[in-house]
Amino acid sequence: MTRAALVVGVIALGVALPWLVSPYVTLTLTAALALGLFALSYDLVLGVTGLVSVSHATLFGVGAYGMAIGLTRLSAPFWPSVLLGIGAAATMAWLIGFFAVRTSGPGFIIMTAIFAHAVEHIANVWTSLTGGENGIILSVSRVTLVPGLDVRFTAGSASAYYAVAVCLGLAFWLSRSIVGSRLGLILRGIKGNETRALALGYRVGVYKVAVNVIAGAIAAVGGMLYGLSQGFVSVDLLRVLLSIEVIVWTILGGPGTLLGPVLAAVLMSLGIDYLRSLTHQYLIAVGAVTLLVVLVLPDGLGSLLERVRPAREARS
C-alpha cells in the first residue's frame, strides 16, 4: 500500500468520521483536534526554535478566556471577541518572551514557569473574572461564516468537528510555510547553534519573542476552538500541567516534525480522557508517563521507530 493511498485513506476516514461514530465520540475528537492545534503551535517554539517554554498553556488559556470575557462580560459580538482572544494571548506571549529572553540559558525555562504559575494562581483566585474551576459558560451555539454556511457548536456537532479540522489544516499549512521561509531558517539556526546565530548578527532575542507571539496566536485559536466545542472555558485550560503535557506530546511526536506532535497530542489526550473516566488518580499516571518518556524515550517515538527499522531491514 503506497504512502499516498494511506494518506488519502486516513483523510477520507477523518472526513467520514462524524457519520461513523456517536456524537459523544465526535465531541471528544473535536476537542482532541483542538489540542492537536495547540501542540502544533508549540512545536514551532520547542521543535523548530529549541525554546523550552513552560508557559504555552498560559497562551492557550488566555486566548480562550479573552474570547470568553469578550462574549460574556463585554457582550461583544463573536469575531471581535475572537480577535480579543488572539490579541490577549499575543500580548501575553510578547510579555513572557520579552522578560524570558533577558535571562541566560536555563533562566528562560524558569521565567516561563514563573509566568505560567503566576497566571494560573491569579486565575484560581480571581474567580469573579474567571469563574474558577467552573469557568465561564459560552453560549455560542452557532457562528455564521458566510451566509448559508454555519458552524454549530453544540455537543457532537459535525460542523464543529470540520471547523476545527479545517483550522488545524490551515495552521499546519501556515506552520509549514513558516518553517520553509527565511524566518524558519533563522529559527532553526537558533536551535542549532545560538551563539553562531548571534555572531552572524541576528537579533536572537527578537526572533525568540516573535516565534512565541506567532505560536501564541495559533495556540489561542486552539484554545478558543476547544472552549467553543466544550461550551465553556475554565482555568484547566491555562494550567502548568497542560504546558507540561504539551511538552511531552511534542517530544513523543518528534520535535520539529509538526505532524508528529499533532498526532501525539490527539492520541494522548484521548488516552487521558479515557483514564480520567476510569479513576480520579489519573494524574499519577500522567506523572508516571512524563517520567517514563524521559527515561525510556528521550528522543521521542521517532527514535523507537528507528530502532525497529534497522532490525527489520537486517532480517529481510
Partner 1 sequence: MTLEVFLLQLANGLSFGVIFALIASGITLMWGIMDFINMAHGDLYMLGAYGVWLALVVGVASFWLALPLAVLGVLAIGLLLRSTVLRPVFGRAPLQTLLATYGIGLILQQGVLAIFGPFSKEIALPISGQVALGPLRYPAYRLVVIVIGLALIAAAWLLIQRSTYGLWIRAVAQDRAMTAALGVPVPRVYTIVFGLGSALAGIGGALAAPLFGIGPTMGADIILLAFIVVMIGGLGNYVGSVVGGVLIGEVIAVGSIWLQPTEAYLVALGLLLLLLLFRPAGLLRAAR
Point out which residues bind partner 1 (CB under 8 A): 46, 52, 54, 99, 102-107, 109-111, 113-114, 117-118, 121-122, 125-126, 241, 244, 247-248, 251, 281, 283-284, 286-295, 298
Rounded Cα–Cα distance for residues 59 and 93 (Å)? 7
Host H or E run for residue 62: helix 56-72
Cβ distance to partner 1 smaller for residue 145 or 294: 294
Q: Where are the alpha helices (DSSP H) in 181-203?
A: 182-192, 194-199
Tell me how far, at minimum, the Cβ of 105 lies from partner 1, in Å: 8
What's the CA angle centered on 31, arms 158 and 296, to 5 degrees?
135
Cβ distance to partner 1 smaller for residue 246 or 262: 246
Cβ distance to partner 1 smaller for residue 86 or 248: 248
Phi-psi region of 133 (alpha: psi -120 to 50; beta: other; left: phi over 0): alpha
235-265: b (≥16 Cβ within 10 Å) or e: bebbbbbbbbbbbbbbbbbbbbbbebbbbbb
Cβ distance to partner 1 smaller for residue 148 or 298: 298
Tell me how far, at minimum, the Cβ of 161 lies from partner 1, in Å: 31
> In sequence order, what are the residues at sequence separation of 6 or more whose Cβ sits closer than 8 angstroms to the Cβ of residue 243?
53, 54, 55, 56, 57, 58, 116
Tell me how far, at minimum, the Cβ of 279 lies from partner 1, in Å: 10
Cβ distance to partner 1 smaller for residue 192 or 287: 287
Tell me how far, at minimum, the Cβ of 248 lies from partner 1, in Å: 7
Cell matching residue 6: 494511506
Tell me how far, at minimum, the Cβ of 284 lies from partner 1, in Å: 4
